[in-house]
Every structure is written in structure tokens, then in C-alpha cells.
Structure 1
Amino acid sequence: MHVVADTRGHFVRGCLTAGQRPDAPQALPLLEGLAPAYLLADRGYDSDPLVATLAARGTCAVIPPRRKRRTPRAYDAARYAQRHLVERLFSRLKQFRRVATRHDKSDTHFLDFIQLAATVLWLRDC
């Protein structure tokens, strides 16, 4: 599952993909229509085409380089530490049993319930 969260750790949008699909190609469709100043993502999103596209859009990519890169790219480690908000969002979503165990057979029903659970979490924070 790929998720876009705001600066407070609230769910903005997400998509489901097969487990064997790479992460980086999913970033641009998720960011369609959004203009974030920074994109915080894990190593799975480290790809030169993605970073170049983000730079052309005016978004700073805060993505640590893969360990096997020959020439590691620099990134803002202090800003990357704020990624814990996204990880907390995942753990809060998994508190809903239906999300944690994935009882839904269809992807659309599962994603719909994730959006409902995210709405409940958003309302709890108000």
C-alpha cells in the first residue's frame, strides 16, 4: 500500500498494488494534483527519474539513497526523521482489525475501508 499523508500525519490518499511491484512508479500518480514542497519517502522510492521529475515540479525529494548506489545522493536526514508521522499513521490504521487482517477480498472494498478508518482517525484528532 502506498500512502500520501500531510504534515500532521493525516491520510490524504492511497493506492494498493501487488507486493512484487516496485514502489517508485507509484509515487507520481499519487502526487497528481498535489504540489508538496517536500516528499519524504523510504529507500524503495529512490530512483533517478522520480527525483528528476520531482525537482522539475519544484518538490524536494527527501529520500535516502539505496545502499548499493555507487554514488550516494545527498538528502536531508533531519527532515527525513519527520517520516515517523507516516509510520504512526500505518500503525494507527492497523488498530482497525479489518485493516490489519484484510478480511475484504476486493481491493476497492479494502481501500474504501482504509479511507473510512482514516476519516475516523482524522475526526479523533480534532
Structure 2
Amino acid sequence: MAEPARPAGGGGAGGEGLGRSRGGFTNKLHLRADGRCRPLSLVVTSGQRADCTSSRRCWRRSVFRRSARAGRARSPTADKAYSNSPCREYLRRGGIRHSIPEKTDSQAARLRKGSRGGRPPGFDEERYKKHNTVERAINRLKQFRAVATRYDKRGYVFLGTATTAALLIWLRS
């Protein structure tokens, strides 16, 4: 019998998706959501793991579909945790326009360099207003007690619980 798939980037306790964070010994759930606040992809990482390290896995798990009208990929919105050059470069290589605000310290460093700092990354405030769909999708997942309390300490068990909750959200909508 094959061993169950472990969550990517488990870190912490032997790839179990556990690690120290402000909330104690726990894990993090990263997700992508569509415009109707339904989860598209889920990734579990350890609690101390930075958000930007799981961005590629999360964005890769569900393919960015090209819209038939515009002929280009839909643009993701993310918060400042994903505002770093590897994330932006990954999206740029895929030809995907994004709306990720620049961190204040990155902006100050760029301005300090003057003309060598380059131009600021593109940012569309109107598109960024749709960022709350991810927060609302997380709140929909937290309506399920097993996801909200995180009693499942094993990463793959918690990922299965979150996936089941996501499937129920899709079936209800």
C-alpha cells in the first residue's frame, strides 16, 4: 500500500506541516479562490514558514485559465506577503498580470537606489479590491469546525479535512 502524500513544504516535525508560530505549534493553510469565494487550491505548510514560499505551489496547483474574451490569463491578487521578486518573476514568466502591492521597506530601498532601483511594479487598486474574496473563502472554510480548530496535527490529515470542506463549499454553491 502506498504511503499517503505529504503536504509540500512541511518543514518542522518531519514533513508533517507543523512548526512554531505565534499561535504555538501549528500549521498554515494557503489557498487560491475564485470570484465566488470557492477554494481552487489548498497548500498546508508549517506555522513558521513564510507565505511567499508556498505561492508557486498554490498557484501551480490550479491552472490559470485564459479568458476567451481577453485572450490573456486572469490576474491574481495577493497581499504584501507575496510581494517579492521571485513571486513577481514567476508570474511575469507566465505572462500573468498581477495586482500585488509593494512592501514599504522594498519601496524605500528602491527609492534609495535612485535610477538604479528600477521602476515600481504595476499595481491596480481597482483590481486589488477583489482581494477580499480570498479572506471570505477562508472564512467559509472556517465554518467547518475541524478546519477552524485544527485538531488534526498531521499535515496530510489536515489537508484532507480542508479539502473535504472545500468540496462541500463547491457542492453547496
C-alpha separation in 2, matches of 1:9 and 1:107: 23
Identify the range of structure 1 (85-94 vs 47-56) with the bigger mean alpha-carbon deviation: 47-56
Aligned to 2:81: 44
Q: CA deviation at 1:31?
A: 2.1
Aligned to 1:67: 104
Larger Rg: 2
Q: CA deviation at 1:21?
A: 1.4
Conserved? CA contact 1:37–1:58, under 8 Å? no
Which residue, 82, 88, 91 being the options, matches 2:139? Answer: 91
Tell me the TM-score normalized by structure 1.
Answer: 0.89
C-alpha separation in 2, matches of 1:64 and 1:105: 33
Tell me the TM-score normalized by structure 2.
Answer: 0.67
Aligned to 2:164: 116
Amino acid at match of 2:31: V
> Runs of 4+ in structure 1 displaced over 6 angstroms?
none
SS in 2 for 1:17: strand
Identity %: 34
Amino acid at match of 1:38: S
Which structure carries more helix by proportion?
A: 1
* Pairing 1:78–2:115 present: no
Amino acid at match of 1:15: V
Structure 2's unaligned 5+ residue stretches are: 1-28, 65-72, 111-119
SS in 1 for 2:104: coil
Root-mean-square deviation over aligned CA pairs: 1.6
Amino acid at match of 1:11: P
Aligned to 1:32: 60
C-alpha separation in 1, matches of 2:162 and 2:86: 30
